Amino acid sequence: MPVRTSVTTIGHLFAQVRQYGQRHPRLTAAFKGGVLFSAGLTIGLLYDGTPSHNRITEPPQQQATAHSTANITGTGLPLPSDAASSSPTDNNLPRLAQTEHYNDLPAAPAAIPLRRETITLGRGDTLMDIMVDAGASRRDSHSAIQTLGKLINLRRLQVGQRLTLGFHATPDPHQSQLQELVLQKNFDEKIVVSRREGDAPRYDARTVEINVTRESYFASGTIEDSLYLAAQQQDVPAPVIAELIRILSFDVDFQREIRSGDRFEVYYENLTSAEDGQQKAGNILYAGLTLRGKPIELYRYDSPGIKRADYYHSNGQSARRTLMRTPIDGARLTSRFGKRKHPILGYTKMHKGIDFGARTGTPIMAAGDGMIEMSQRNGGYGNYIRIRHNGTYKTAYAHLSRYGKGIRKGRKVRQGQIIGYVGSTGRSTGPHLHYEVIVNGKQVNPLSLKLPTGRKLKGADLDQFQQQVNLLQTQIATVRPAVQVAQD
């Protein structure tokens, strides 16, 4: 916005100069040069050094220099106070004539190049320690870290996040002046902390969007053993497979409904960072499954006013439910809900959940959004997790070999997130998942539980969604035959 204001002012000035030039042509060129020089510096001054929480998109070729723009604050020359408000007259000819000397001013000194160090956060690292080890003073480090903390929760920094420090040299060869701190927040965002000019170390922070290119990929295959293995054989990235299973789990019982010979399709994005070339699997745009000739097709749609995108059938009915049908893929149902002879104790006992037999280490997903209420050893259940989804529903997962990354009591989880892995801890005869659904404090049969369906798109939302579906169907139709021929 400020730059736009400056451009408008310059246009206004030149309009006045053109009028004045008709009467005094010799001074017009000199005045134009002076205005251009002053206005250029004024644009640099429009950033006043205050923290900005707005997202900024920087072209990759400019990212190396854009972070230091705040360092030129205070070096510009002001525009004449009356230049934009009154037309030049004969009374201010001497002042205008002085603009002829602007071209004689010395060129601005070249920016001092920064020495940069990129550090990957490791287990047990603290920001203070790694910044001081890299050459920053504790005073600079403390101020920069405080500023960084305004835009990100420092307690949630993850092992593997990247931090780049930029330094100016000082008389002390062992201690450089910290000019810039850049933290990779996620794949397409970073936080830039830049030093203000002055004796005291003061910093400003802003979030910067990283340019990302998106490419779409289509894959399909025949299921023989499990959906996971079938997709893996077609080189579908593991995160895409996990998301595909999560999406289809609303409509499909992977333990009872999938048969050998069924087919899957997936159309998904792959992201490439324009900054460093790193790649990451993106969103699934379309997920398809054909079960004994019956197709299930789901399309991604980001509805205005809804916090996150969802997946819908072609008629606009959301696939999402409160809980997934099953929280595990490629497992066989080994024990149902109800009374049974206990395999270890030998007597008849109520089995308050269902068991899925699977290999040790098979991922287990959260059946729905919620908060972890319990994550610990729990008697005969072995390693155990219980999630509270809302005031009505809870789910429990037992006999885990280990817990998922970051899983602990009080942590929020998303539907489909990996929370643990199949094992045989506690009272168990072999690796399996014991799964319970708890409704109003009482265990119920997960296989017969009827859950409310999600929202149905209507009106303008439905029209926009169907336009998007038509576009996706056209795109998929162009690549589907080539993929099928390659497989044959």
Residue 1 pLDDT more than 50? no
Half-sphere exposure of 60 (CA within 13 A, CB side): 10
Residues 6 or more apart in contact with residue 317 via CB below 8 angstroms: 453, 454, 456, 457
Domain count for the chain, please give it.
4
First-to-last CA distance in the chain? Answer: 57
- The confidence score (pLDDT) of residue 329 equals 75
Stretch 50-59: mean pLDDT, rounded?
33
Structural contact between residues 192 and 182, judged by C-beta atoms closer than 8 angstroms = yes
Distance CA(5)–CA(24), nearest Å, equals 28
Domain that holds residue 167: 115-209
Q: According to the model, what pLDDT value does residue 299 have?
A: 97
Q: From residue 197, give the alpha-carbon distance in Å to each of 132, 139, 143, 160, 267.
A: 21, 15, 14, 32, 50
**Whether residues 340 and 259 fall in one domain:** no
Are residues 276 and 296 located together in one domain of the fold? Answer: yes
Residue with tokens 């593991």: 238
> Of 172-181, 211-220, 319-328, 478-487, which range is least confident?
478-487
Q: What is the pLDDT of residue 168?
A: 82
Domain end, chosen from 104, 139, 163, is at 104
Structure confidence at residue 305 as a pLDDT band (50, 70, 90): low
The answer to whether residues 72 and 140 belong to one domain is no
Provide mean pLDDT across the span 448-474: 88
DSSP character at residue 108? P
Neighbours of 30 (CB within 10 A): 17
Mean pLDDT value of segment 458-468: 92
Question: What's the rounded mean pLDDT across residues 23-31?
Answer: 44
391 and 313 inside one domain: no
Assign 43 to helix, strand or coil.
helix
Supply the pLDDT for residue 225: 82
> Do strands 56-57 and 203-209 pair parallel, antiparallel, or not at all (unpaired)?
parallel
Task: Identify whether 41 is part of a domain.
Answer: yes
Query: pLDDT at position 286, please?
Result: 97
Is the pLDDT higher at 311 or at 352? 311
How far is C-alpha 192 from the geometric centre of its chain's CA atoms?
Answer: 17
Q: Please give the structure tokens belonging to residue 32.
A: 């134009």
Residue 70 has pLDDT above 50, yes or no: no
Task: Give residue 373's pLDDT band: very low, low, confident or very high (50, 70, 90).
Answer: very high
Please indicate, yes or no, if residue 326 is contained in any of the structural domains.
Answer: no
219 in helix, strand or coil?
strand
Is the pLDDT at 395 greater than 90? The verdict is yes
Euclidean distance between CA atoms 364 and 329, whole angstroms: 8
Do 125 and 196 lie in one domain? The reply is yes
Q: What is the structure's pLDDT at 259?
A: 85
pLDDT for the residue 383: 96
Residues 68, 229: Cα–Cα separation, whole Å: 49
Span 4-28, mean pLDDT?
40
CATH number, domain at 251? 3.10.450.350
In whole angstroms, what is the distance from residue 92 CA to residue 94 CA? 6
C-alpha span between 288 and 278 (Å, rounded) = 28
> Is the residue at 477 inside a domain?
yes
Average pLDDT, the chain: 76
- Please give the pLDDT value at position 451: 78
Can you tell me the mean pLDDT for 200-208? 89
Tell whether 380 and 419 lie within a shared domain: yes
What is the total residue count of the chain?
488
Last residue of a domain, one of 56, 81, 104: 104
The torsion angles phi and psi of 486, rounded to 5 degrees, stand at: -65, -35
The answer to whether position 249 is within a domain reads: yes
φ and ψ of 455, to 5 deg? -70, 160
| pLDDT classification of 308: cutoffs 50, 70, 90 | confident
Tokens of 137: 């003073």
Q: What mean pLDDT is predicted for residues 92-106?
A: 40
Two tokens, residue 224: 């023989």
Among 34-48, 134-148, 287-301, 445-459, which stretch is predicted with the lowest mean pLDDT? Answer: 34-48
Please give the radius of gyration of the chain, using alpha carbons only, rounded to the nearest integer: 31
Per-residue pLDDT at 342 exceeds 60: no
What's the rounded mean pLDDT across residues 58-80? 33
Residues 444, 450: Cα–Cα separation, whole Å: 11
Distances (CA, A) of 112 to 46, 83, 117, 169: 22, 34, 16, 9
Tell me if 109 is assigned to some domain.
no
Higher confidence at residue 315 or residue 42? Answer: 315
Same domain for 350 and 283: no
Between CA 448 and CA 337 the distance in angstroms is 10
Residue 346: its pLDDT value, please? 52
Check pLDDT > 60 for residue 307: yes
Helix (H, G, I), strand (E, B) or coil at 152: coil
Same domain, 382 and 419: yes
Other residues' Cβ atoms within 10 Å of the Cβ of residue 115: 14
Rounded Cα gap, residues 170 and 176, in angstroms: 5
- What is the average per-residue pLDDT within 427-436? 91
Pair (316, 461) in one structural domain = yes
Confidence bin at 160 (pLDDT 50/70/90):
confident
pLDDT of residue 186: 85
Predicted pLDDT of residue 454: 75
Q: Which residue has the higher pLDDT, 253 or 39?
A: 253
pLDDT at residue 67 above 70?
no
Element of type H or E holding 277: none
Q: What is the largest CA-CA distance in the chain?
A: 111
Closest CA to 204 of 290, 127, 144: 144
Integer Cα distance of 92 and 201 in angstroms: 44
Co-location of 149 and 217 in the same domain: no
Q: Choose one of 104, 126, 157: the last residue of a domain.
A: 104
